[in-house]
């Protein structure tokens, strides 16, 4: 009964989802692409031997890359079909994989859409990243006896409470996974408490510790340092509506103390850049969009704020910054990934109070004095000023973050061992 109600609600909300895509397409034509794929029609593709990998958006697409690369090496006899749920995730996947994998949008969770999809694609294995759990997908895959692994799986206390309201329904959905590859023991405990059979769950670690920095990072940093006139750079990454306004207050305090400071502001969704730019300019700051500069800048950058409206360059800006704030955390969004700035070992990392999406990572970093968590924008301003003022303290936090990142990189090996249990050995 609950599955029928769930599917009915999908039909109710479908017009709103399509209208949202149309509305966003006014500023980004990419939102008008891939509609047939969203309804299960994947088009002309090779006929067989698929491993289907699904990652909803940018963060998940980046995090799963080491696993995709390992699968391409280990199992060359299979085609990799990689699907996303968002435009930005799809764009990022195209930049990362190009022609090495088949890239599509994921079908909506209508029974007939997933039926169309699976009639064209008959995967030998499905890997779903983190929290993407679609009941009708799972029912269709189970009927066809296709093994499914929930990779890098996490279940926050907040998500557990939400699922627990419909325990019988969601325990059935989660038990239909062949394996749940949990990030941490705390995640595994919550899955079991939800009614998932313990034999379905293995704690394997977090894939986000296994990413690699760009090979050309050093040369890119040298180019950018030659055009930025100040050694003082503050980066705020993956920010959201309601957060930029608070960060503008912080920036005003920082500018008063450090007039030469450059703020590199990277909204989570680049299509919001025009609105964010308008908000910043209303406060009297000069703003340059990254997209208006040369791909490889050659002229001096003179501005208060560099607004990053491109994808795939955050590592460069992390490398330029003395202090980095990771967004989605000053508002109750749950935070974003702190591991990429940590991997450089050169920038002190700050965040707001809301980090429930990355609670295990945040707790580890805080315990080892590798992350400065601030309760509001006032304390963020105070702590950021302290970090800029005290070079030794700043370096201590940056080096501790790098240490935390490096000591937990077994997740890729563990995930591959789990996949080999299902697929067997590769080439």
DSSP per position, 302-335: --SEEE--SSS-HHHHHHH-SEEEESSTTTTT--
Residue with tokens 């996490």: 154
| 251 three-class SS | helix
Catalytic residue among 37, 60, 130, 340: 60
Same CATH topology for 2-205+410-423 and 217-406: the answer is yes
Q: Give 239's contacts (C-beta < 8 A, 6+ positions apart).
A: 247, 265, 266, 267, 268, 276, 327, 328
Give the pLDDT band (50/70/90) at residue 22: confident
Give the pLDDT band (50/70/90) at residue 378: very high
Average pLDDT for 402-410: 90
Give the pLDDT band (50/70/90) at residue 32: confident
Task: List residues bridging with 228 in a β-sheet.
Answer: 301
Average pLDDT for 147-165: 94
Give the pLDDT band (50/70/90) at residue 99: confident
Q: What's the CATH number for 2-205+410-423? A: 3.40.50.11720
Report d(CA 192, CA 132) in Å as an integer.
Answer: 18
Average pLDDT for 117-140: 93
Q: In the chain, where are the structural domains located?
A: 2-205+410-423, 217-406
pLDDT digits (tens, 9 = 90+) for 33-84: 888 999 999 887 876 789 999 999 998 999 999 999 999 999 999 999 999 9
Task: Reply yes or no on whether the pLDDT at 279 is more than 90.
Answer: yes
Confirm whether 60 is a catalytic residue. Answer: yes
Give the pLDDT band (50/70/90) at residue 424: confident
Task: Reply yes or no on whether the pLDDT at 358 is more than 70.
Answer: yes
Task: Reply yes or no on whether the pLDDT at 251 is more than 90.
Answer: yes
Q: Burial of 322 by CB count in 10 Å (0-12 exposed, 13-18 middle, 19+ buried)? A: buried
**% of the chain exceeding 90 in pLDDT:** 79
CA 122 to chain centre: 27
DSSP 268: S
Task: Reply yes or no on whether the pLDDT at 427 is more than 60.
Answer: no
Q: Which of 367, 373, 343, 342 is nearest to 355 (CA)?
A: 373
Task: Reply yes or no on whether the pLDDT at 425 is more than 70.
Answer: no
Average pLDDT for 166-170: 93
Give the pLDDT band (50/70/90) at residue 426: low
- Domain 217-406 in CATH 2.30.40.10? The answer is no
Q: Which of 37-51, 93-107, 336-350 has the lowest mean pLDDT?
A: 37-51
Mean of all residue pLDDT scores within the chain = 93
Instruction: Tell which wins on pLDDT, 214 or 274.
Output: 274
């Amino acid at each position: 009964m609950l599955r029928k109600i769930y599917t009915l609600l999908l039909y109710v909300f479908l017009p709103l989802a399509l209208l949202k895509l149309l509305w966003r397409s006014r500023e980004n034509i990419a939102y008008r692409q891939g509609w047939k794929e969203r309804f299960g029609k994947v088009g002309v593709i090779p006929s067989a031997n698929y491993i289907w990998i699904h990652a909803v958006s940018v963060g998940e697409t980046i995090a799963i890359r080491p696993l995709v690369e390992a699968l391409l090496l280990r199992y060359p006899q299979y085609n990799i079909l990689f699907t996303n749920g968002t435009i930005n995730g799809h764009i990022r996947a195209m930049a990362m994989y190009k022609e090495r994998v088949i890239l599509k949008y994921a079908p909506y969770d209508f029974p007939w859409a997933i039926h169309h999809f699976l009639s064209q694609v008959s995967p030998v294995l499905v890997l779903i990243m983190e929290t993407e759990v679609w009941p009708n997908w799972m029912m269709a895959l189970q009927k066809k006896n296709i093994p499914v692994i929930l990779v890098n799986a996490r279940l926050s206390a907040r998500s557990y409470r939400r699922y627990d309201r419909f325990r019988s329904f969601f325990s059935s959905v989660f038990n239909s996974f062949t394996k749940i590859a949990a990030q941490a023991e705390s995640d595994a405990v919550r899955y079991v408490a939800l009614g998932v059979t313990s034999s379905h769950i293995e704690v394997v670690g977090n894939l986000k510790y296994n990413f690699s920095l760009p090979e050309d990072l050093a040369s890119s940093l040298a180019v950018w340092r030659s055009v930025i006139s100040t050694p003082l750079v503050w980066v705020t990454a993956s920010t959201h509506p309601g957060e930029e306004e608070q960060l503008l207050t912080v920036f005003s305090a920082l500018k008063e103390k450090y007039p030469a400071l450059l703020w590199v502001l990277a909204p989570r969704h680049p299509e919001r850049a025009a609105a964010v730019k308008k908000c910043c300019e209303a406060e009297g700051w000069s703003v340059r969009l990254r997209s208006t500069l040369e791909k490889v800048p050659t002229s001096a950058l003179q501005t208060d704020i560099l607004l990053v409206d491109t994808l795939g360059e955050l590592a460069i800006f992390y490398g330029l910054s003395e202090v980095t704030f990771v967004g989605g955390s000053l508002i109750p969004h749950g935070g974003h990934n702190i591991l990429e700035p940590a991997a450089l070992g050169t920038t002190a990392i700050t965040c707001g109070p809301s980090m429930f999406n990355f609670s295990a990572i945040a707790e580890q970093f805080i315990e080892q004095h590798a992350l400065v968590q601030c309760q509001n924008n006032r304390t963020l301003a105070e702590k950021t000023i302290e970090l800029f003022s005290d070079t030794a303290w700043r370096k201590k936090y940056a080096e501790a973050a790098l240490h935390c990142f490096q000591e937990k990189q077994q997740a890729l090996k563990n995930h591959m061992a789990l996949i080999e249990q299902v697929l067997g050995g590769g080439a």
